[in-house]
Amino acid sequence: MADVASHEFLHIITPLNIHSEEIGYFDFQNPKMSKHLWLYEGATEYNAKYIQLRSGMVTMKDYVEEIVSK
Ligand SMILES: [Zn+2]
């Protein structure tokens, strides 16, 4: 639950605040996938895991194992 909540919440950084022009003017009627999806999902997932480490929700060992598994 914390993983999903952290990830979804941290989408406030990418792509909502840091994004390409095509996402800034996203056409919800005719959606086109961004070639920057890897950046949005990767940065968000990295931050979601890192914030759990920083807050003491996970140990360094668990954090490293999770990052290595990705
Ligand atoms: Zn995501």
Please identify which residue in the block is written with the tokens 């990767």. Answer: 42
Cα of 51 from ligand 1 centre, angstroms: 15
From 44, 58, 53, select the one nearest 10 (Cα to Cα). Answer: 44
CB under 5 Å of ion ligand 1: residues: 41
Instruction: For residue 44, count CB atoms less than 10 angstroms from its CB and return exposed for 0-12, middle for 13-18, buried for 19 or more.
Output: buried
Please identify which residue in the block is written with the tokens 């950084």. Answer: 13
Per-residue pLDDT of the chain (70 residues; tens, 9 = 90+): 888 998 998 888 887 777 777 777 777 788 877 788 888 889 899 999 999 999 999 999 999 999 999 8
Report long-range pairs for 18-24 (Cβ below 8 Å, ≥24 apart): 18/43
Listed by start position, the domains of the chain span 2-69
**What is the reported pLDDT for 15?**
77
Overall residue count recorded for the chain in this entry: 70
Cα of 49 from ligand 1 centre, angstroms: 13
Q: Report d(CA 8, CA 51) in Å as an integer.
A: 13
Cα of 64 from ligand 1 centre, angstroms: 20
Cα of 60 from ligand 1 centre, angstroms: 23
